[in-house]
Structure 1
């Protein structure tokens, strides 16, 4: 029984590592508009992503996904575009991208 539990635990850890979100890979799609190092102001409407604190950035991603963010300070009218970009991302994906952006300078 103990061997079975240990094997199950190891398998679960291996699977979680295999399926963990890779923020750098996911961000490649974002880089088209936001720049390779998240350094661009998209259409001069969206601030440089590395200048937004991580908590706000993640909250904005979730708000874009649920459609509740469309305008506001520094985010004029990007909701339609960003909702489509965020739609396929899970919460784990968004967190991974956010963490990756935090590493960029």
Structure 2
């Protein structure tokens, strides 16, 4: 019985796991289908960035730490809005998906 409950629980978690490819679709408008675009010559191609730094930046944008216009690349206000609806799991899924595009 315990095995069945565990199997059902794991299946449910997998069913609700964030889909990085699906979430990334809204990012592709600015960053390119393969995360290859250098947006406004301010943002490096995401596919070329370090995955850990990319995820840290996403979280910092959401928290408002890179949103003063003087931050790392000056796109804070736009990115804060983009990150607002994403959970940590969503951001991690997107970052992981971008890593597969290399």
Q: TM-score range by the shorter chain?
A: over 0.9
TM-score (norm 1): 0.90
Using structure 2 for the length normalisation, give the TM-score.
0.93
Which structure has the larger Rg? 1
Query: What's the offset of the Cα at 1:41?
Result: 0.8
Shift of 1:6: 2.0
Alignment correspondent of 2:41: 44
**Structure 1 residue ranges, 4+ long, deviating more than 3 angstroms after superposition:** none
Displacement, 1:11? 1.2
Partner of 1:63: 60
1:64 shift after superposition: 0.3
Number of residue pairs matched? Answer: 99
CA distance in 2, matches of 1:95, 1:33: 19
Query: Is the counterpart of residue 32 in structure 1 residue 29 in structure 2?
Result: yes
RMSD after superposition? 0.9
1:30-86 deviations in Å (ceiling 9; x for gaps) = 0000000000011111111011100100000000000001322xx1x2111001100
Q: In the TM superposition, what is the alpha-carbon distance from 1:10 to its structure 2 partner?
A: 1.3
User: Who is 1:95 aligned against?
Assistant: 92
Match of 2:12 among 8, 11, 15: 15
